[in-house]
Amino acid sequence: MTLILFCKRPRLGIGKQRLARVLGQQGAFRIADMLHQCALAQLASWPGRSVIACADAADCDSYQAEHPWLDTVIAQQGDNLGQRINHVERQLRAAGHERLIIIGSDMPEQTPDQLLAAAEKLAQHDIVLSGATDGGVTLMAAAVAWPDLDALPWSTPELGQALVQCCEQAGLSVGWVTPCDDVDLVADLRRLRASLVDDPRAPQQALRKLIQELV
């Protein structure tokens, strides 16, 4: 079982711009960096194979050097997330990876148990998803090749439903695990300030401390 982190290395002024409107560029960067650390820790704790799919090919070598425990680092390619997922999956399946779980870098509430539940459900379903309250998805797991994901309405409230329809039209069965939201707005940070109180993971507590400082 392979866990794949789709991510972009945090940089000042790039990413989390809705947070930057309230927190400023430096504040948004600090939040993005801590979210990134939470995701890397999640990947490091995974008992199976671990992969980073990075948005910028120039970052591949540094990710591999900084995290030698990674099985591999792959550069994303494509004009939208669907194309990038299809590209990364083709590379991994060609290299012998079979069951794949994709996560992003801004779901610090996502737990190892949720990932293990997704892995277990792949024994019963071709595709396993975790939904978000905004209509998107925050985990995409596949025991078989994804259909063409290019035409899906990425970054819209219609994504989750459209993804299910796409898979079912391709003859694939779809299962679900516990929902989990991502982080886009200051309201999400306020949610984390409460939801992470009892989280035992050190990166999550560092993130919560930063949120208390900034929000």
Written as six digits, the tokens of 129 are: 């998803």
CB of 212 closer than 8 Å to CB of 196 = no
Q: Which residues contact 141 (CB under 8 A, 6 or more apart)?
A: 99, 100, 101, 102, 118, 119, 121, 122, 127, 128, 129
Q: Which 8-state DSSP code applies to residue 150?
A: T
**pLDDT per position as a tens digit, 128-159:** 999 999 999 999 999 999 999 999 999 999 99
Q: Of 19, 51, 2, 8, which is closest to residue 207 (Cα–Cα)? A: 19
Q: Where are the domains of the chain?
A: 2-183
Q: Which CATH architecture has domain 2-183?
A: Alpha-Beta Complex (3.90)
Alpha helices in the chain (DSSP H): 17-44, 60-66, 81-94, 112-121, 159-169, 186-195, 202-214
pTM (2 d.p.): 0.97
**pLDDT per position as a tens digit, 162-184:** 999 999 999 999 999 999 999 99
